[in-house]
Amino acid sequence: MIRRTLMRRAYNSGNYSTARRHAQKLVHLPSEQQLAKSVIIRSYWNQQQYEEIVQLLQQWKDSELMPYLQKSIDQLLVLKAKGEEVSISLRGFQSKRHALLQKNQPIPVIEREWNKEKIIENFFQENQRIWFRFPQNYCYWDMPEDFNIEQVHPSLLGLVAELLLSPWHKEAKLQIQSPREKGSHPGLSFSAGTDSTAAYLVLPDDTILGYHERSFESQLKHDNAKKLINHLINVHDRKVFSIPSNHEIIRTYHDQSIGFSTDLACASHLILLADHLDLGGIAFGMPVDNSWLWKGRVFRNFENTPYFQYWRKRFSHAGLDLILPIAGVSEAGAMKICQQSELLPYLNSCMRKNGNGGCGECWKCFHKNGPLGRPFNFNAKEIQVFLNRKIIPTAMHALWAIDIMGLKNQAPLSIQELLENDFSWWDKVYPPSKEIIPSQWREHVWERICTYLEMMDAPYPLEMVNLYNERLQ
Ligand SMILES: [Zn+2]
């Protein structure tokens, strides 16, 4: 009885671990079982320990608590889709969820067969909806009112087909259309996060923003993004197109989580709109962590990578410059750019909480919100698990975050040596990145970047980065 009171008291005052310790001692008593189980699951839920919930509820099959099983699986699938490691297998859950999602997608009024020989023939229009037939199903974009697919240059259609299908269908890569003439304005594939907002702030004022709006229900919420977008439209007087689309389902037919087929596929909507909006380039908010650094931890000569060489040429064939305005700026630098603008209150990278503020318990809250002075719990499970990994995700950025927040003494022993590095240069710009900005926009972008950030001094410390002594192929 006393234990029961202690358990309740601990739970109600938010001491979830203590509450769970009491509950675990009561869970074997038939009369206490129901309440104890409920406390265990709810306390794990409040601490965002979803893996434990899935494991326990699969054993218990407790009908009252079952909603927590589905909710936890959804949370874990979102984490996995974001590239975070999940320690339990979600395969079965994932394929069931995917089958349901695939079944619930709309189909066109007049159906078509997949055309393998002429890949661009798979695009067609019904009212304002642009359909794309792929081997297993259809996906779509809902375009602005006066959009007409007949007026879209074939090389734009070919590029979109390749971005969507090339990982699985080689034919999408081989069908090159006649070249398109370059348009006048830059477009920005805008996600409303820190990196793409930093890119927005350094691009010219005639840049047109395109927001990909996932059209089906998921854990990903658009509310925060919409707040920022409305602000840009109403206060900054900017053109922002939000295009609902479900093309992220293509990956689910290949046993992969919902998401973009290839990383540049996030701009499919803007590429389709390129003639309509007279675009001559597409910009992406790719920071140095993904360009000159491989996986945020080893230096590479990005300009010479087959990836950059190929896609620059491929985009240019479709009359589009591939613009990576912040490729020489780290995530820390991007944060610093946003910090100097009045847009900061509209930005929050935490995916766990909708609306105001972050959850304070996730990896994003640690490395994206923490350095901005926002509250987070350094001892939260996810943060500690990631910091204790053999290789820390987004390593340079995470180490910089610990350094700048003065948390070195509380960081795990295993990374103390890495923390002895100098991080003072990490929010500065890597000068050679200027050269990959297409000439038409280079001077403008560079001038803007220089108003926000300092340049790295030669010899550039970025070129020495190899945190775990890895050898790149
Ligand atoms: Zn969070």
> What is the 84 CA–ligand 1 centroid distance (Å)?
13
Nearest to 213 by CA among 273, 140, 157, 316: 140
Q: How far is the CA of 208 from the centre of ligand 1 (A)?
A: 30
- 266's enclosing H/E stretch is none
For residue 345, count CB atoms less than 10 angstroms from its CB and return exposed for 0-12, middle for 13-18, buried for 19 or more.
Answer: exposed
Residue 373 lies in a domain: no
Distance, in Å, from the CA atom of 137 to the CA atom of 388, rounded to the nearest integer, reads: 42
- Cβ(358)–Cβ(369) below 8 Å: yes
CA–centroid distance, residue 376 to ligand 1 (Å): 8
Indicate whether 286 belongs to any domain. no
* Residue 152 contacts residue 275 (beta carbons within 8 Å): yes
Q: Which of 161, 83, 137 is nearest to 253 (CA)?
A: 137
Helices (H), 214-297: 223-234, 268-272
Residue 357 CA to ligand 1 center (angstroms) comes to 8
Specify if 12 maps to a domain: yes
Ligand 1 centroid to Cα of residue 258, in Å, is: 21
The predicted pLDDT at position 230 comes to 94
Kindly report the pTM of this predicted structure: 0.85
Instruction: Confirm whether 115 is domain-assigned.
Output: no
User: What's the confidence (pLDDT) of residue 355?
Assistant: 58
Q: Closest Cα to residue 190, out of 145, 229, 159, 136?
A: 229
The answer as to whether 449 is a domain residue is no
Residues with Cβ within 8 Å of residue 414, at least 6 apart in sequence: 388
Taking the centre of ligand 1 as the mean of its atom positions, its distance from the CA of residue 95, in whole angstroms, is 27
Q: Are strands 137-142 and 129-134 parallel, antiparallel or unpaired?
A: antiparallel
Centre of ligand 1 to C-alpha 31, Å, is 37
Distance 366 CA to ligand 1 centre (A): 8
The C-alpha R_g of the chain, in whole angstroms, comes to: 24
Ranges of beta strands (E only) in 305-411 are 321-323
How far does residue 454's CA lie from ligand 1's centre (Å)? Answer: 30
Residue 46 makes CB contacts below 8 A (sequence gap 6+) with 14, 16
Cα 266 to averaged position of ligand 1 atoms, centre (Å): 23
Asked whether the beta carbons of 186 and 282 are under 8 A apart, the reply is: yes
| Ligand 1 centroid to residue 362 C-alpha, Å | 4
Q: Ligand 1 centre and the CA of 349: distance in Å?
A: 8
Q: How many domains does the chain have?
A: 1
Ligand 1 centroid, distance to 348 Cα (angstroms): 9
Give the Å distance between the CA of 144 and the centre of ligand 1: 34
Residues facing 189 on adjacent strands = 210
Q: State residue 175's pLDDT score.
A: 81
Dist. CA 51 → ligand 1 center (Å) = 17
Does residue 126 sit in helix, strand or coil?
A: strand
The DSSP output letter for 276 is: T
Q: What is the pLDDT along the chain (473 residues), one digit of tens a residue?
A: 789 999 999 999 889 999 999 999 999 999 999 999 999 999 999 888 888 999 999 889 888 898 898 888 888 877 776 667 777 888 778 788 889 899 999 999 999 999 999 999 999 999 999 999 999 999 999 999 999 999 999 999 999 999 999 999 988 888 888 999 999 999 999 999 999 999 999 999 999 999 999 998 876 677 778 889 999 999 999 999 999 999 999 999 998 888 999 999 999 999 999 999 999 999 999 999 999 999 999 999 999 999 999 999 999 999 999 999 999 999 999 999 999 999 998 888 887 766 567 888 888 899 999 999 999 999 988 899 889 888 898 999 999 999 999 999 999 999 999 999 999 999 999 999 999 999 999 999 999 999 999 999 999 999 999 999 998 86
Ligand 1 geometric centre to CA of 40 (Å): 22
The secondary structure of residue 74, as a DSSP letter, is H
Q: 3-state class of 123 per DSSP?
A: strand
Q: Check whether the bond before 459 is cis (ω within 30° of 0).
A: yes
How many CA atoms within 13 Å lie on the side-chain side of 212? 25
Q: Which of 180, 229, 138, 193 is CA-nearest to residue 338?
A: 193
Q: Count of CB atoms within 10 A of residue 397's CB? A: 24
Q: Does residue 423 belong to any structural domain of this protein?
A: no
Is 77 a domain residue?
yes
Q: Which residue range(s) make up the domain with 29?
A: 2-91
Q: What number of other Cβ atoms are within 10 A of residue 25's Cβ?
A: 12
Residue 245, domain member (yes or no): no
Q: Distance from the CA of 194 to the center of ligand 1, in angstroms?
A: 15
Distance 360 CA to ligand 1 centre (A): 5
CA of 76 to the centre of ligand 1 (A): 14
Tokens read off for 87: 């320690």
Q: Determine the distance separating the centroid of ligand 1 and the alpha carbon of 361, expressed in angstroms.
A: 5
Task: Find, among 147, 434, 403, the residue nearest to 269 by Cα.
Answer: 147
